[in-house]
Amino acid sequence: MATIRIPQTDPRAGFLAQRAAIEQAIARTLDGGRYILGEEVTAFEREFAAFAKAGHGIAVANGTDSLEVALRALDLPPGSGVVTVSHTAVATVAAIERAGLVPVLADIEADFHTLAPDSLRHALAGEIGGGSGPKPVIRATIPVHLYGQAAAMGEIVGLARDGGIRIVEDCAQAHGAALDGAPIGGFGEAACYSFYPTKNLGAIGDGGFITTSDAALAERMRMIREYGWKSRYVSDIKGLNSRLDELQAAILRVKLPHLDAANARRREIALLYDEGLSGVVATPALRDGAVHVYHQYVVRVPKEERDGIRERIAASGVGTLIHYPVPVHLQPAYRGRIWLAGGTLPATERAAEEVLSLPMYPEMTDAAVAAAIAAVKAAIA
């Protein structure tokens, strides 16, 4: 098997680019002697909230927890339905169930791979099927800004307002993305982020974050993340243990000032791909008014050829991945018991068969991008 010289993603390259500053931040934190919810977390909460143009920031242990904490803070009746997409990391759906709520999975817009407003409309009208138990009452939605591009928030916000439901944005793949001049994360009650090492802003470990402009909601989230405490050792509400540690906060503080430049480099790489692969594969569509941050550069290839294409690309020393190969509603843990908007999700199922993620990380050189383009062209010729 060929050695992969150009990986699909490379979090180590991000560490090496800031190695000296990261090592200094780690040493500073270790010397400080406070390792849980100390000055590093407090400072990072302030700095990332400012980056996201949000009033409040709450750091938690990981991206899944960020969604669960946000949903719990909304205090929805148990068993309420939450509409999200099936074409996502399973964490989105797992968090809904962990919060005691019921996932209702909607279809995607084929061009953009994000929540289709028409599918959300079906769910809000009660046109759902395939699930087990009582039909849930829809009280919230989680639009996922997948691959680094905003969902159709103008339409989604309108539908949510008309339907009287809450919005929690899943921004795990879209740090710094925007739509119509507004940063993602400000369209609903809360927005949730992941700092998994491969994300646009990645820790060296795990981490998550919630932003909101609602002070009361922020206070409730802070309580939930630490046992429901308002004062130490006294739980006023039900909570859990989900805290970003000081070391990860210190590392993220080093990397945050470089995020805009890293996202700009991702856009440069995407443009090179667009130009080099035009007419070869279906390249990503860009939504009008969107600032894409290309967490992934995802092309579409014929389903019957995808495995062979991947093998031939790998033989050239170039790595690829599939985000995501099996829609959530077809996975063994969910199949046959999950509610589906409109009863079927055809665009989702087709995407899962065709998507292919090419190498994408800001430390990629132009030469590496050219090599990846050449490998794709050779694999499809």
Q: Would you list the DSSP string of 125-165?
A: TT-EES--SSPPPEEEE--B-GGG----HHHHHHHHHHHT-
Distance CA 67, CA 60 (A): 10
Distance CA 349, CA 189 (A): 30
Sign of the alpha-carbon dihedral angle for 322, 326, 332, 333: positive
pLDDT of residue 42: 98
pLDDT of residue 27: 98
pLDDT in tens, 12-62: 999 999 999 999 999 999 999 999 999 999 999 999 999 999 999 999 999
pLDDT of residue 2: 77
At 112, which CATH number? Answer: 3.40.640.10
Number of domains in the chain: 1
DSSP string, 180-242: TTEETT-SSSEEEEE--TTSSS--SS--EEEEES-HHHHHHHHHHHBTTEEETTEESS---B-
What's the gap between Cα 347 and its chain centre? 20
61-84 burial: b if 16+ Cβ within 10 Å, else e: bbbbbbbbbbbbbbebeeebbbbb
pLDDT of residue 39: 97
Distance CA 185, CA 183 (A): 6
CB atoms within 10 A of CB 180: 12
Distance CA 38, CA 29 (A): 9
Distance CA 159, CA 339 (A): 19
Which regions of the chain are under pLDDT 70? 1
Helix, strand, or coil (residue 175) = coil
Q: Select from 123, 106, 104 the least CA-distant residue to 162.
A: 123
Distance CA 284, CA 193 (A): 23
- Domain of 302, in residue numbers: 1-381
Cα separations in angstroms, 355 against 20, 35, 86: 37, 41, 14
Question: Phi first, then psi: what are they for 134, rounded to 5°?
Answer: -65, 145
158-167 burial: b if 16+ Cβ within 10 Å, else e: ebbeebebbb
Q: In the chain, count of helices (H) and strands (E)?
A: 13, 16
If you ran DSSP here, which 8-state letter would residue 258 be given? G
What's the gap between Cα 191 and its chain centre? 10
